[in-house]
Structure 1
Amino acid sequence: MYTDTERCVRAVQAKDTRFDGVFFTAVLTTRVYCRPGCPAVPPKPANMVFHASAAACQQAGFRACKRCRPDSTPGSPEWNRRADLTARAMRLIGDGVVDREGVPGLARRLGYSARQIERQLNAELGAGPLALARAQRAHTARLLIETTGLPLADVAFAAGFASVRTFNDTVREVFALTPGELRARAPKERAGRTARSSPAPGALTLRLPFRAPLNPDNLFGHLVATAVPGVEEWRDGAYRRTLRLPYGHGIVALTPNPGHIGCRLTLTDQRDLTVAISRCRRMLDLDADPVAVDDQLRADAQLAPLVDKAPGRRVPRTVDEAEFAVRAVLGQQVSTAAARTHAARLVLAHGEPVEDPEGGLTHLFPAPDALAALDPESLALPRARRTTLTTLVRELAGGTLALGPESDWDEARARLAELPGFGPWTVEVIAMRALGDPDAFLPTDLGMRRAARHLGLPHTPAALTARAAAWRPWRAYAVQYLWATDSHPINFLPA
């Protein structure tokens, strides 16, 4: 997209916010880079240069626009739509792998050499993994500087910088302002707000942007209807859950608001901030391109009324791929309530206790290592499902099955299908909600087949799959629209 100069110019001249985060406009005369929807008067086409990433703009010597704040846009939908090397690398960078493990760690997870990854990212994004991680740290730093009352030294380490000096130099270079000047420019009602209003130690209040439209009904409805007691809850208009993070743990409260998702994070280690934000965005599918999705699905006459009635449906995902895989097995051939009961028993027996002074959360969902030694006889499950669960946990704990941002979707499907008890439904629901494949499809799902029959669509798995070919690569979103025809609680925002 960003190499098509004519289309980019048209998007900038139209101030089309759909392309915010997809590409960036660098202005040769002012040495500033902007998002396509910048409210300023568009520059002359001859003065525009387009880049695929903020990091590429920064490397080319451009600073972030102070008016449109291009670093605060939603992420590119490309990285959640694709499963190639570049997309998998970007998902890992967003998850903080470069900050924690360096480029060698990134390469190890992807199964490529560091040189290959460097070459691929530079070719497509104009910047290598270190520069992309640095741009992410700069964005996190600005977010903390302008929306919290954290001391600037604490901001530096929470954003992932190794030293205060590097933090100061980076902020000055990227934003042409010192950290202190950035904080002074922030509206007074925002700066320091967290320090005044957060009784819980370490709590931060942030805003998560998204591309409009966003329909919160199925997104939050699904998360709440399937919530595991002690790990998740709906309280005071917010979905709350515990988070297992690289340096510690946290609790997040996510509130749907007009124009943004309110995010309140309490972390035991501030270094986990970037990872926590990234995982919450991924769970809520906030980097999706709903216009592109809905336009394609609307072309089907049977789906069009569903899309027009409630556009902007997202795919509810997860903050922990291994957790979701375990929960998917517990949910095989049982009701939502029964699946929650089974999961709650695992949590009480094997989860790590946490304190939640602001609500009723009690545990982290148990990690595969904690479940590896569980006694199958203690599980109130049919014998075949016990075997399925214990095999999955053993594979996850031993590292022979890897589910994460770096996963190749087709390889993960093949590996899951080899495990006992993993049929097409379980494999595809994990691909859709844990791995994030936007084209995952559930033709054998009973709710899907009921909806298809009601709408006059083919309702046998083979015929429905053939009809759904026209919905690719967005079949996971079509699933959400079809599920929405039911009166199940997953389709409604809790009161």
Structure 2
Amino acid sequence: MRNPTISTQDPSFDSLDREHRVHAVQSKDARFDGWFFTAVLTTRIYCRPSCPVVPPKAENMTFYPSAAACQRAGFRACKRCRPDATPGSPEWNHRADLVARAMRLIADGVVDREGVPGLAARLGYSARQIERQLLAELGAGPLSLARAQRAQTARLLIETTALPMAEVAFAAGFSSIRTFNDTVREVFALAPTDLRARAPHARAAGTAGTLALRLPFRAPLNPGNLFGHLAATAVPGVEEWRDGAYRRTLRLPYGHGIVALAPGDTHVGCRIALSDLRDLTVAISRCRRLLDLDADPVAVDERLRADPLFAPLVDAGPGRRVPRTVDEAEFAVRAVLGQQVSTAAARTHAARLVTAHGKPLDDPEGGLTHLFPDPDALAAVDPETLAMPRSRRATLTTLIAALADGTLNLGVEADRAGTRARLLELPGFGPWTADIIAMRALGDPDAFLPTDLGVRRAAESLGLPATPAALTARAEAWRPWRAYAVQYLWATDSHPINFLPA
């Protein structure tokens, strides 16, 4: 079956008619996991489309756009296919509207930390408007969506750790043990202790305080440019490649963490140590965002493959992702440090900032030493101590001041077009810097870099126009996935960013 999401530039749950959904369930098509959920009227259980059990009769199927909507309608999660463990819908990273921005904030734990009023304040809408739009599109409001996320985190901790249940409840964001017990029973039809007893495998061994998880993704996934880029640009002390995994430090709402991410055939291995377990949901969300794991590679690749000059690149290495970031402000600072210098020089400049102004931490397993300094810490730095040209120093200090005082917001809720325009108003910010931040920090899947030297060289070698204006015109056919086109163009070079480290 042709993937129905490919035929539209703005796919949604509503773009899949009932016939397509039934066929996806009957063929156990994993491409649709996370796009919608199948609820079975006779058993009152909801599943992912690829559930391995015998599909129910079509007349007994009904469909919901979210796990929260299934739970709100009184359905329980399937014990076999674990629908709460699917990749997230690609819509929430692809789209830039209110619902998508709200979903990104909910995934980042804002409702648990700040409530619905905090969510509304960040988005600039009333709580009633947000509730109405989420209910209309997802069948559940922000509290229900956050509750479903807490249930998923609780299940993860129950099945993969030996933590006492009271600590699991606290770490997953529940306000009381009673609410935790009631939610787990309602969603999974098992008490928390029974859920732990049924765990399919023994809890993974590891360093004390370290959780071992699996991060699912939609196939195909090409790890070369994804992990190669992160490893080649790693800032010493904050990031490293060690024992086949990309490792880095994380600044989180309640504390800090260290994560190790290793590519696999069916999932990305994730080992994470946290100073406060309440940060688990946020840490997982940020790691998924970093690796672009909720993307729809089939839709992306088919659009790019339609260009006959681009098709050989896609066929040679399908499933490329856009390496993003776990800290938008950090990436913006690093983008300025990297202006008109080599990758090695940019790493050196960043490492100096980290050593001088980052918060130290201990890493029992490797060579990570600091958190990257936040805007408040960098705002206190004497500009004269920065070893860089005066013009770039002015660009950096202006950026840091705007981040520190809140006049520039690069968070997941940021309006992409408005934020890009704001960046271009800052001294020293040209299209390249604004667009690389849009691509990797703001997560814009259509950000494009027509002035990038590597992009222009690759375009010329393929017979594509090499001048920025002509290349931009040709790239109209690649919308809304031009950020992925950049990854394929960069992949024609032999630069280390395109290859997994040894």
TM-score past 0.5 threshold: yes
Q: 1:385 aligns with which of 375, 385, 392?
A: 392
Q: Which residue of 1 aligns with 2:53?
A: 40
**Deviation of 1:191 (Å):** 3.4
Q: Deviation per CA, 1:134-158, whole angstroms, max 9, x where unpaired?
A: 0001111111111222222221111
SS of corresponding position for 2:228: helix
**In the alignment, does 2:413 pair up with 1:402?**
no
| Per-residue Cα deviation, 1:183-212 (whole angstroms, up to 9, x for no partner) | 11113xx3332xxx223x421111101011
- 2:298 pairs with 1:287: no
Partner of residue 418, structure 1: 425
Counterpart in the other structure of 2:26: 13
Unaligned runs of 5+ in 1: none
**Counterpart pick for 1:444 among 444, 448, 451:** 451
Query: Once structures 1 and 2 are overlaid, which stretch shifts more, 255-264 or 3-12?
Result: 3-12
Alignment of structure 1 residues 37-186 onto 2, 5 Å = 37-186=50-199
Would you identify which runs of 4 or more consecutive aligned residues in structure 1 move more than 6 Å?
none
In the alignment, does 2:495 pair up with 1:488?
yes
- Matching of residue 272 in structure 1 with residue 283 in structure 2: no
Amino acid at match of 1:89: A
CA distance in structure 2 between the aligned counterparts of 1:488 and 1:274, rounded to whole angstroms = 34
Output one character per residue of 1:243-277: Cα deviation in whole Å (capped at 9) or x when no partner: 00000000000011110111011100000000000
CA distance in 1, matches of 2:462, 2:172: 49
Match of 1:256 in 2: 263
- Calculate the TM-score normalised by the size of structure 2: 0.96
* Deviation per residue, 1:440-486 (Å, 9 max, x gap): 00000000000001111001001101111111000000100000000
Q: Residue 402 of structure 1: CA displacement?
A: 0.7
2:329 is the counterpart of 1:344:
no
Offset at residue 427 of structure 1 (A): 0.4
Q: Structure 2 counterpart of 1:112, which letter? A: Y
Cα distance in 2, alignment partners of residues 274 and 16 from structure 1: 27
1:218 match: secondary structure: helix
Q: Deviations over 1:286-327 (max 9, x none)?
A: 000111111111111111111111111000000000000000
5+ long unaligned stretches in structure 2: 1-11
* 138-147 or 58-67, which deviates more: 138-147
The C-alpha deviation readout for 1:396-446, integer Å capped at 9, x for no partner, is: 000111111101100110111110011000000000000100000000000
Q: Which one-letter code corresponds to 1:269 in the other structure?
A: D
Contact preservation (8 Å) 1:150, 1:192 = no
Number of the residue aligned with 2:13: 2
State the 1:159 CA deviation. Answer: 1.2
Q: Could you say which residue in structure 1 is the equivalent of 2:470?
A: 463
Greater mean deviation of Cα atoms: 144-153 or 455-464: 144-153
Give the corresponding residue for 1:477: 484
SS for the counterpart of 1:50 is strand
Q: CA deviation at 1:375?
A: 1.2
**Equivalent residues of 1:2, 1:52 under 8 A apart:** yes
Query: Per-residue deviation at 1:80?
Result: 0.6
Task: Give the drift of 1:361.
Answer: 0.3
Aligned counterpart, 1:192 = 203
What percentage of aligned pairs have identical amino acids?
81
**Number of aligned residue pairs:** 489
Q: What's the secondary structure of 1:26's corresponding residue? A: strand
What is the distance in 1 between the residues matched to 2:26 and 2:476? 35
Counterpart Cα distance in 2 of 1:303 and 1:354: 45
> Quick one: distance in 2 between partners of 1:136 and 1:93?
9
Tell me which residue corresponds to 1:223. Answer: 230
Amino acid in the other structure paired with 2:338:
G
- The amino acid that maps onto 2:79 is K
CA distance in structure 2 between the partners assigned to 1:75 and 1:192 by the alignment: 24
SS at match of 2:237: coil
Q: Which shifted more, 149-158 or 336-345?
A: 149-158
Instruction: Name whichever of 34-43 and 59-68 sits farther off.
Output: 34-43
CA distance in 1, matches of 2:206, 2:118: 36
Structure-2 separation of matches of 1:22 and 1:461: 36
* 1:246 alignment partner AA: P
Which amino acid is 1:137 matched to? R
Q: Which moved more, 1:32-41 or 1:245-254?
A: 32-41
**CA distance in structure 2 between the partners assigned to 1:295 and 1:147 by the alignment:** 37
In structure 2, what is the Cα distance between the partners aligned to 1:152 and 1:481? Answer: 46
TM-score when scaled to structure 1? 0.98
Alignment partners' CA distance in 1, 2:414 and 2:35: 23
Equivalents in 2 of 1:494, 1:359: separation in Å?
17
